[in-house]
Amino acid sequence: MTMLPKLQGAFANRSVLKVISGLNNLNAQSVAATVKAAELGGATFVDIAADTDLVRLAKNVTSLPICVSAVEPEKFVAAVAAGADLIEIGNFDSFYAQGRRFEAEEVLALTQQTRALLPEITLSVTVPHILTLDKQVQLAESLVKAGADIIQTEGGTSSKPAHAGSLGLIEKAAPTLAAAYEISRAVSVPVLCASGISNVTAPLAIAAGAAGVGVGSAINQLNSEVAMIAAVRGLVESLNTANIRTFA
């Protein structure tokens, strides 16, 4: 597997910002706005639903690398043929509200099936937060052996912040930060910390061992392109500040 040079540098510098439009978001206008804001704000790459029309749309509006998300391996084949640069088994958050759970065995099987279909493409896999932390670590190790190039963490949708402001943002990010801390010490591939991350907690993700963060609703739920660009820029600055402090 050869990761795009654009991505390699950002992962090496631990400054990755992935902007997520949403696995169930098939609205072309919404996806286009999110993708444009990601590029204008300085994000590293974008993550969209594994839909060929959306991939073509994204390629027309951005030069950023395009990741596609799905939980059905066969969807990746057409999306990669349409121009997707990397793939993600994940965005499980969008299924939990429906009562759909992803257990370790299923995620590992999806990874093995995907690798069999697409042995060369850069593959990111999310570890479900519904597993205990020790089980998350075990699964992450198995996923890397099965061919995952990036491990992503999650947990923001299930956390129940008790406070407002910065304290509430830290409480919201606690599950995904804890997972990033434990997993990054157990695997040799980069870890992306996603779900419930804000510009307050992005530096904490880097400190916990992540190579970067994935952010969705904090950007794609905003109602203007100006606000979306500002949110992306705020996250980029937050990550840059974290790295200046970390490596100073």
How deeply is 159 buried, as exposed, middle or buried, from its count of CB atoms within 10 A (0-12, 13-18, 19+)? middle
Give the residue-averaged pLDDT of 220-247.
85
- From CA 140, how far away is CA 197, in angstroms rounded? 20
88-104 burial by CB neighbour count: b if 16+ within 10 A, else e? bbbbbbbebeeeeebeb
Task: Report the predicted TM-score, pTM, of the whole model to 2 decimal places.
Answer: 0.94
Does residue 78 carry a pLDDT above 70? yes
Residue 169 CA to chain centroid, in angstroms?
A: 18
Average pLDDT over residues 50-61: 97
pLDDT at res. 1: 57
Nearest CA to 75 among 53, 59, 97?
A: 53
Q: Which residue has the tokens 């932390």?
A: 133
